[in-house]
């Protein structure tokens, strides 16, 4: 039976699309030659990537002294960027797993791109972990290897080791989830392929998918279990990232509300990044009928909710700092807001708490331009949030003689730019060679959620929706 | 495995609509025809039940893999920190299962996800070098194909063709593997 959706819900797919239209519209950009816009964007990304790679190489060659770190501020842009990228990497699996469990069908149009974004963002985050080690060739020391590699095992009580497990598990499971979702669509492209080479390549990645009822039944069962596994996994990743700070004894870091606060912030920034990417995709690939204003509005609602949670968390932190009666704690927070880094704090507050509240207005929530601008602002704000937490908590420690400021060097900035080159190169490759919308899932919801009038039902006025339509695309 | 490696002569009914093919499965079965399998571009809920496929046991596999992940994590943390090289950090017990909850959780999820996906691929006979038997290439696009193995049916070909057409098939083709 087709999925049943309330008739009062606005359609998820507009423009009267048939199953064949879905295949055609979404496969088009995979099969055709790269567009001019794509080629230009890809060239820019690759140039940025090459520049960034050279700078990262220099960082490793010369050592972390090329960064602006000092004795007081031992973590600054590196971990800020890491947490920022990991946070962005939360939306994809949230959309595909949690929204699957909640039966939110609008996720079908955006989950593919969001999951790709997740995977690439986690890779960018991991690159900062490698970079901040200084000696990346010894990164495997973080793994629990037998004693012959050193005198000790890793300390399993350390949140940093938990992080290794959490992020590598998250990356692996997200990748598997994404790839499993791709298989039916890869088979579609395989069966449409005209050239032998693409039939062979897409065929190998489609793993011999044949779409039998038995395979689909198993597939759906597997997706459900993967979603069930990924849901606590998404929440665990940023919880554990927050514990890197929360289990320390630094005022401003050792806050018990960090896990839910970080998770909300991660979803907040992740959705903002998804908005930025899908707003471009839907225009460039002409997918306005699949990624509709309804989708954008739904995601804006999530942004408003999580943004408000983040706002409450900021205020709670401040209240607790005062209520604790601990001088050091209070000082850290007052210094954050009024000290030399007041501008970073003000940026964070404005971008994360104030401007997203504009989304309470339906007009703004449904406006593409507003959404794009506000989403960029959210991502700026979330970067500053991590900078405020990490650097401003450190810059004035217990000993006034060691108070310092952080000044980013060219390499701090360039290593951050590297991840943008990396991210956009991967994302553009994805958007050219893989279907950016999950065709099979969109086909599964199209009947219950399409504007299209069933041709076999007569006596129904155009625009009127019927409860249980059947339609035959060949009749038209 | 059997869905991938079919052989012999098949009648393939092509349908245009998911609701029609679901109804057709019931009608064709009632007419006494044994259906080999139905191929669809997207999952149709209830189709596997209508075809009489047994419920997937993937959940059992997933649970076993999850359990093996939990046990691995417990064994790893116990061996390293409780037995091989006990470390006292902050005056606390060198081995305490509570602090290993994140490790235990992550390994449980990791083993479960990878094991289940592996089981899924193996049970469907899928792999990078597998060439699928496609009864109709359009079934990954917009058509729904009902394949009927003629060697497993005692009804004459022409009658089966008529049954398929009566149940709503837009076309009926012969496919030989």
- What CATH number is attached to the domain comprising A335? 1.20.1630.10
Average pLDDT of every residue of chain B = 89
- The pTM (predicted TM-score) of the whole model is 0.90
| ipTM exceeds 0.90, yes or no | yes
Question: What is the Cα–Cα distance from A168 to B110, expressed in whole angstroms?
Answer: 9
| pLDDT tens per residue, range A148-160 | 666 678 888 889 9
Secondary structure of chain B: what % helix, strand, coil (to 5)? 50, 10, 40
Question: What is the Cα–Cα distance from A161 to A448, expressed in whole angstroms?
Answer: 47
pLDDT band at B98; cut points 50, 70, 90:
confident
A28 contacts chain B (CB < 8 A) = no
Has residue A465 been placed in a domain?
Answer: no
Instruction: Give residue A428's domain range.
Output: 19-141+152-449
Residues of A in contact with B80 (CB under 8 A): 144, 153-154, 156
Question: What is the Cα–Cα distance from A384 to A387, expressed in whole angstroms?
Answer: 5
| pLDDT tens per residue, range B113-140 | 999 999 999 999 999 998 888 888 999 9
Task: Indicate the number of domains in chain A.
Answer: 1
Question: What is the Cα–Cα distance from A333 to A185, expressed in whole angstroms?
Answer: 51
Question: What is the Cα–Cα distance from A148 to A5, expressed in whole angstroms?
Answer: 60
Sign of CA dihedral B77, B79, B85, B91: positive
| Angle at the Cα of A474 from the Cα atoms of A471 and B3, rounded to 5 degrees | 85
Q: What is the mean pLDDT of residues B29-47?
A: 92
Q: Which residues contact A460 (CB under 8 A, 6 or more apart)?
A: A453, A454, A466
Task: Identify the CA nearest to A268 among candidates A427, A420, A94.
Answer: A94
What are the contacts of A149-157 at 24+ separation with CB within 8 A? A152/B85, A152/B87, A153/B80, A153/B81, A153/B84, A153/B85, A154/B80, A155/B81, A155/B87, A155/B89, A156/B77, A156/B80, A156/B81, A156/B99, A156/B100, A156/B103, A157/B81, A157/B87, A157/B89, A157/B92, A157/B99, A157/B100
Question: Hey, where are the domains in chain B?
Answer: 9-54+135-176, 58-123
| pLDDT tens per residue, range A229-278 | 999 999 999 999 999 999 988 999 988 999 999 999 999 999 999 999 99
| Angle at the Cα of A312 from the Cα atoms of A310 and A313, rounded to 5 degrees | 60
Question: What is the Cα–Cα distance from A112 to A122, expressed in whole angstroms?
Answer: 16
Best of B2, B120, B123, B169 to substitute, by most chain A Cβ atoms within 10 angstroms, is: B120
What kind and span of H or E run contains B151? none
Nearest CA in chain A to B127: A207
Best of B14, B17, B62 to substitute, by most chain A Cβ atoms within 10 angstroms, is: B17
Q: What pLDDT sits at residue A151?
A: 64
Nearest CA in chain B to A438: B42
B68 or B4, which is more confident:
B68
In percent, how much of chain A has pLDDT > 90?
70
Q: Which phi and psi (to 5°) does residue A400 adopt?
A: -55, -25
Residues of B in contact with A234 (CB under 8 A): none
Residues of A in contact with B142 (CB under 8 A): 18-20, 23, 443, 473
CATH of B9-54+135-176 given 3.30.460, 3.30.160, 3.30.70, 3.40.50 = 3.30.70
| pLDDT tens per residue, range A72-115 | 999 999 999 999 999 999 888 888 888 888 888 888 889 999 99
The answer, yes or no, to whether residue A2 has pLDDT greater than 50, is no
Q: What is the mean pLDDT of residues A9-14?
A: 81
Average pLDDT of every residue of chain A = 88
Residue count (chain A) = 476
The encoded tokens of residue A189 equal 């492209």
What kind and span of H or E run contains B121? helix B101-123
Q: What pLDDT sits at residue A1?
A: 40
| pLDDT tens per residue, range A27-48 | 988 988 898 989 999 999 999 9
Q: Kindly tell me the burial class for residue A44, based on how many C-beta atoms sit within 10 Å of its own C-beta (0-12, 13-18, 19 or more).
A: middle
pLDDT band at A449; cut points 50, 70, 90:
low
Q: What is the mean pLDDT of residues A395-401?
A: 90
Q: What pLDDT sits at residue A476?
A: 34
A8 contacts chain B (CB < 8 A) = no
Q: What pLDDT sits at residue B152?
A: 87
The answer, yes or no, to whether residue A282 has pLDDT greater than 60, is yes
The answer, yes or no, to whether residue B4 has pLDDT greater than 50, is no
| pLDDT tens per residue, range A290-316 | 999 999 999 999 999 999 999 999 999
Which residue's entry shows tokens 């960064």? A67
Has residue A351 been placed in a domain?
Answer: yes
Residues of B in contact with A142 (CB under 8 A): none
Are B38 and B21 within 8 A, CB to CB?
yes
Task: Identify the CA nearest to B97 among candidates B123, B116, B119, B71.
Answer: B71
Q: What pLDDT sits at residue A459?
A: 40
Question: What is the Cα–Cα distance from B56 to B139, expressed in whole angstroms?
Answer: 23
Question: Sheet holding B9-15: strands in order across?
Answer: B37-39, B144-149, B9-15, B171-176
pLDDT band at B80; cut points 50, 70, 90:
confident
Q: What pLDDT sits at residue A6?
A: 60
Q: Which residues contact A355 (CB under 8 A, 6 or more apart)?
A: A374, A377, A378, A381
Q: What pLDDT sits at residue A450?
A: 60
Which of A200-214, A289-303, A438-452, B65-79 comes out lowest in average pLDDT?
A438-452
The answer, yes or no, to whether residue A147 has pLDDT greater than 70, is no
Task: Identify the CA nearest to A393 among candidates A334, A343, A349, A447.
Answer: A334
Residues of A in contact with B53 (CB under 8 A): 213-214, 217
The encoded tokens of residue A1 equal 């039976």
Q: What pLDDT sits at residue A98?
A: 87
Question: What is the Cα–Cα distance from A344 to A335, expressed in whole angstroms?
Answer: 11
Q: What pLDDT sits at residue A372?
A: 96
Are A353 and A314 within 8 A, CB to CB?
yes
């Amino acid at each position: 039976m087709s999925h049943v959706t309330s008739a009062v819900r606005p359609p998820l797919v507009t423009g009267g699309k048939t199953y064949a239209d879905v295949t055609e519209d979404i496969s088009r950009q995979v099969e055709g030659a790269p567009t001019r816009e794509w080629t230009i964007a890809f060239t820019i990304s690759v140039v940025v990537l090459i520049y960034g790679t050279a700078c990262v190489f220099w960082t490793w060659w010369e050592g972390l002294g090329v960064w602006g770190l000092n004795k007081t501020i031992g973590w600054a842009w590196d971990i800020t960027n890491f947490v920022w990228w990991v946070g962005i990497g939360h939306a994809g699996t949230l959309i595909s797993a949690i929204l699957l469990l909640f039966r939110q069908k609008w996720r079908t149009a955006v989950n593919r791109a969001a999951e790709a974004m997740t995977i690439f963002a986690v890779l960018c985050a991991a690159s900062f972990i490698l970079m901040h080690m200084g000696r990346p060739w010894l990164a495997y020391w973080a793994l629990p290897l037998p004693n012959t590699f050193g005198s000790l095992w890793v300390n399993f009580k350390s949140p940093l080791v938990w992080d290794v497990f959490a992020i590598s598990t998250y990356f692996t499971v997200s990748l598997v989830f994404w790839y499993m979702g791709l298989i039916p669509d890869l088979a579609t492209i395989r069966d449409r392929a005209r050239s032998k080479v693409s039939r062979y390549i897409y065929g190998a990645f489609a793993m011999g998918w044949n779409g039998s009822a038995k395979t689909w039944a198993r597939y759906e069962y597997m997706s459900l279990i993967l979603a069930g596994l990924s849901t606590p996994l998404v929440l665990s990743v940023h919880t554990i990232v927050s514990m890197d700070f929360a289990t320390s004894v630094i005022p401003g870091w050792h806050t018990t509300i960090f896990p839910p606060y970080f998770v909300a912030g991660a979803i907040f920034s992740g959705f903002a990044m998804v908005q930025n990417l899908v707003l471009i995709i839907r225009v460039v690939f002409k997918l306005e009928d699949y990624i509709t204003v309804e989708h954008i509005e739904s995601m804006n609602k999530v942004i408003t909710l999580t943004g408000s949670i983040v706002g409450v968390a900021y205020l709670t932190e401040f209240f607790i700092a005062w209520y604790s009666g601990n001088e050091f704690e209070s000082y850290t927070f007052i210094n954050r807001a009024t000290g030399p880094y007041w501008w970073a704090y003000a940026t964070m507050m404005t971008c994360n708490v104030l401007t997203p509240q504009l989304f309470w207005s339906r007009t703004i929530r449904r406006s593409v331009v507003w959404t794009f601008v506000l989403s960029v602002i959210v991502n700026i704000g979330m970067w500053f949030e991590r900078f405020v937490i990490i650097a401003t908590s450190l810059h004035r420690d217990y000993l006034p003689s060691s108070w310092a400021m952080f000044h980013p060097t060219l390499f701090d900035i360039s290593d951050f730019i590297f991840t943008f080159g990396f991210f956009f190169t991967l994302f553009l490759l994805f958007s050219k060679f893989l279907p950016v919308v999950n065709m099979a899932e969109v086909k599964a919801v199209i009947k219950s959620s399409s504007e299209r009038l069933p041709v076999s039902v007569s006596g129904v006025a155009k625009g009127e929706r019927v409860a249980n339509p059947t339609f035959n695309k060949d009749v038209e | 495995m059997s869905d991938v490696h079919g052989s012999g002569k098949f009648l393939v009914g092509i349908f245009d609509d998911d609701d029609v093919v679901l109804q057709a499965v019931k009608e064709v079965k009632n007419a006494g025809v044994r259906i080999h399998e139905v191929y669809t571009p997207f999952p149709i809920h209830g189709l596997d039940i209508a075809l009489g496929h047994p419920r997937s046991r993937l959940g059992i596999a997933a649970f076993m893999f999850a359990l093996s992940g939990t046990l691995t994590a417990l064994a790893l943390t116990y061996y390293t920190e409780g037995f091989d090289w006990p470390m006292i950090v902050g005056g606390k017990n060198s081995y305490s299962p509570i602090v290993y909850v994140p490790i235990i959780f992550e390994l449980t999820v990791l083993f479960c996800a990878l094991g289940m996906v592996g089981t899924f691929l193996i049970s469907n006979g899928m792999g990078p070098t597998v060439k699928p038997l496609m009864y109709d290439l359009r079934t990954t696009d917009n058509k729904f194909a009902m394949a009927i193995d003629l060697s497993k049916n005692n009804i004459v070909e022409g009658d089966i063709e008529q049954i398929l057409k009566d149940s709503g098939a837009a076309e009926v083709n012969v496919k030989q593997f």
